[in-house]
Structure 1
Amino acid sequence: MPTFLIKRLLVSIPTFAAILALVFVLLNAAPGDPVDAFTPPDQSLSVEQKEQLRHEMGLDRPLPVRFGLWLAQLAQGELGHRYKDGASVYDTIVSRIGPTLMLSATGLGLGASLGVGLGLLAARKPYGWIDQLLSLLAYLGMSSPAFLLGILGMYLFALQLGWFPTGGYATPGGGDWLDVLHHLFLPAGVLSIQFIAILMRYTRASVLEVQNQDFMRTAHAKGLSRTQALLSHAFPNALVPIVTVIGANFGALIGGAVFLEVVFSWPGMGTLFVDGIESRDYPLIMGITLFMALAILLVNLLTDLIYAWIDPRISLR
């Protein structure tokens, strides 16, 4: 295990650095300028004033120098300050992590439980009417983008039926944890739809592949029912590809959360990220990218560790 962790760390460090470098280059290559972004439309600045602001921000330095300075700052545990208001990037991000983790974890939990459960249900009687119906719903879910599902979910369940609020973290003026859950359920449910669809299809395929193995025929010969053999023999042996899908789609789940936070006015890192893009707030965007890249790399590492836990035949070296 220690050897495996060291190897993964050695691989993750250059990967992490390459992600940060690529985002930094693309960010600075995009049209627009931080000076123009946060200057009020009714306030005109001369060319000399704009150049002075760029000099104060360090935007007139060569790109490699700016990236090196940012990495040196990062090595000291600092993420810099926002161009927009001078606030600490670290403190700003930390204040938004809680709502994003709540939304992502709830979406992941709903997606994993319902996706696996429905996949097992579809695999119990393959090509039956339940399997055909679930397959149709899965294809619809996989082909629908997160922002479209968010708008449709808000229109149907919030505006038409009135079951949930249209957005926000809690009722203005206060609210207990039940009120927060009431606001959370709709965006988390919408976020989990694509995840449910993908995981359901992979669970079904993985279980059906396992059902053709010799040990499954032995289980049926011992008198186990279809459901008993499915849950006690097929499902445990189909877990590795299922865990792979969960880990591989974590990044897509985070990406979907960014769109849905904007749609539902959820005060997380997604809305903060969009605000940073609109204002060309380079330090903020790089800080959020750092946190997201770390989260995805850690989830991939955790996925590999779970492999060895659920399947003793897999050795971590």
Structure 2
Amino acid sequence: MDKALDYSGPSKLSKRLLNIMTWLDNNFFTDIYRKLNPQKKSFTWRNKNTSIRIDYIWADPKLEANIRKNHIYQSIDITDSDHNITLTEISLTSIITTNNRRGIRVEKSSTRIIYNYENTTNEQWNGYESHLKELLEKQRAFIYIEAQGHNKDTLNNLWDIIYNCIQQAALKHIPHKKVGGNKTNLNRNYKEVEDSSKERKDLLYIRKIIRRLSKNELKGTELTDVTKGIKTFNQKYGINILEITEDTDWHTWKCETREWVNVIRRVIKVKDKTIKEVTIKKRIEERNDMITRDQRKMINSILEKTYSKINLDRIRIITDIQDKILLNSKEEVQTEAINAFST
């Protein structure tokens, strides 16, 4: 846990990690959210004084290249849990073999890392060397075979350790950049369509009122502010949420408010459906436009055609005296290939 990014609240939070988190970190398991959002603050649980990212999804290092996205969703319109929902998407197309050509095309847009070795300074190389040695010693890589025995599993595990140590040290010290992974925003052309973000915030506000009411925290000016907020709600949605007083029973108020909360949820559902319909309509218009502008692109898209290329680097010929000769010179291969296809 990075206290600066994953925690907000009193400074009494223990700096000591749980044993399971220490074990995951030492074995190079990946905290997926932090991997994809290295500097983003986001929390999965809150109370009056504290916000913390307490819900994690960890991935084996071998799956790191297959991670596509991770997001934290508000759970107010899905469940009554006081924790937010953490969702991760991991591509399995390189693990589970299928005949889905479209899956192959999607994989071509995955990200990869390119290291800039030419512009790496001596200081960065020294930092990389020191860090790599530290990681290898921490994993006891230099005495791993002696400790674990000479067998196939030991060698495989040792290679995984070395690979992960090299990658971790390189990412920290060697200049690099990510390429590929072009993102498609389905709503990029639909700014005129209002999304449901405001209504979702309103649901969070109602839930916050219920939580504070259950703890008897609404008094004085705070109670007055909540009363004004409820009046605004009623005017905005044309509903009739009951006002709160110091004698209001939170459970009764929650049950009576549920019907009006469902009204807001229906508004969210309608807006989400509208955005989806507009998106589909726009895609259809783009496809129809391809008929006149770019027929090749349209046909390739419909057929889910994969783009392949053959590299011909050697060719076998039969001479006039029936001798078989293998040519591997680029010029000779090119000449013979042209002759073969032109006759």
TM bucket normalised to smaller: under 0.3
The TM-score, its normalising length taken from structure 2, stands at 0.24
The TM-score, its normalising length taken from structure 1, stands at 0.26
Compare relative contact order (CA 8 Å, sep 6+) and give the higher one, 1 or 2. 1
Q: Which has the higher strand share?
A: 2
Greater C-alpha Rg: 2
Q: Which has the higher helix share?
A: 1
